[in-house]
Structure 1
Amino acid sequence: MIHRIILFRGMNTGGVRAPVGEQRAMAEAMGLKNPRTLAASGNLVVESGKAAAALEADIEAAMEKTFGLKVAAMVRTPDQWARLIAANPFPKEAAAHPAKVVAMVMKEGIRPGGLEAAQALARNGERVEAVDDVLFFWFPDGQGQSEIFKKATPRMLGMGTGRNWNTVLKLADMVGLEA
């Protein structure tokens, strides 16, 4: 049994809601150990020996059965999370303004041309970089003001879910990583 970080796309935003207590109960009913949530932000940490792809499929099916929600889940191990943290191309920005750096974890990789399309939308010092299956964003004026945030859809980038750097570090702490 090892920790698994489960990220839900679009959870508790845009009207897609599942109470975190009920998410933990669902995870327990699935046989997952020590389920913990991080606020109401679409993050679940569990212990499981199941492979990531199988766990993703099981979690997505359980979310649909339990809550009637068809949401994408992305599962990462602590090692994968540590590599994500180490790969951040914006470490100075993350240290100074962690809410303005976002790591978007992609379900099946970045769509061809997606990085370039997002970079073309960048304005006012915004930056976008890709490392493996993660897109990293620097939003100096915040996400709400960004054309990237407004226009970069799954059709452009591929299916993914973003977490600001504060959340990335809190999830690392939940699985015992020194970030």
Structure 2
Amino acid sequence: MRYVILLRGVNVGGVTVKMAELREVLEGLGYDEVKTVLASGNALVSTAASAATVKTDVEAALRERFGYDAWVHVLTTAGLRAVVDGYPFGRGREGWHDYVLFVLDPEVHDKLLALELDPAHERAASGDGVVYWTVPKGDTLDSKLGTAIGKAAYKPHLTSRNVNTLDKLLA
């Protein structure tokens, strides 16, 4: 099985994980065809293990190697393709960012979607285990949803990626 592994919160806020070191960790777990994409904590691996096992093993290995509270999201490449294909907003609009929030906890998913957003400023929509989000460039961190996803209580439950990054993972 080919999996996409998305690390949460690396190479920001003092947690540094070099992609060469991430590759070493993943290869050390016995995964095949390990590839990292960009420096924001994205990897592809092949293994016969289940997604749940990959998640548990990678989180434990990252905690041991780098000494931080590691949380990862693990999807099949087919699952990631379905997420990207399901993006409901116009992609690549001038002056806008297109994001996917990968959310492990259904309660957090629902809380994020319950936020009252100004559709002229940002929009969100539900997907299977994700929240799709579009926001003007430069407003990501100050937007209502951007502020919400930065809360410490949500760290174990979600990570965000620009849709362009997801395209690179699928290329």
Same fold (TM over 0.5): yes
- What is residue 72 of structure 2 aligned with on the other side? 73
The aligned amino acid for 1:144 is L
Q: 1:48 to 1:121 in 2, by over 3 A?
A: same
Aligned-pair identity in percent equals: 28
Contact 1:101 1:164 in 2 (8 A): yes
Aligned to 1:5: 4
SS of the equivalent of 1:80 reads helix
Q: With structure 2 as the length reference, what TM-score do the two structures score?
A: 0.88
SS of residue paired to 2:159: strand
1:16 maps to which residue? Answer: 15
CA distance in 1, matches of 2:2, 2:95: 24
CA distance in 1 between counterparts of 2:71 and 2:95 reads 25
Q: Which residue of 1 aligns with 2:133?
A: 137
Of 111, 115, 127, the match for 2:123: 127
2:23–2:34 Cα contact (<8 Å) kept: yes
CA distance in 1, matches of 2:11, 2:147: 18
TM-score (norm 1): 0.84
Q: Structure 2 matches for 1:79-118, cutoff 5 A? A: 79-90=78-89, 92=90, 94-97=91-94, 100-111=97-108, 113-118=110-115
SS for the counterpart of 2:34 is strand
Contact 1:123/1:146 (<8 A) preserved: no
Number of residues paired by the alignment?
169
- Report what 1:166 is aligned to: 164
User: Post-superposition shift, 1:49?
Assistant: 1.3
**1:34-79 Cα distance to aligned partner (Å, 9 max, x none):** 2111121111111111111111000000001111121111000011
More helix by share: 1
Structure 1: which 5+ residue stretches go unaligned? 174-179
For 2:163 and 2:132, locate their aligned partners in 1 and report how far apart those are by CA, in whole Å.
10
Please report the RMSD computed on the Cα atoms of aligned residues, expressed in angstroms.
Answer: 2.3
SS in 1 for 2:114: helix
Distance 1:84 1:157 in 2: 21
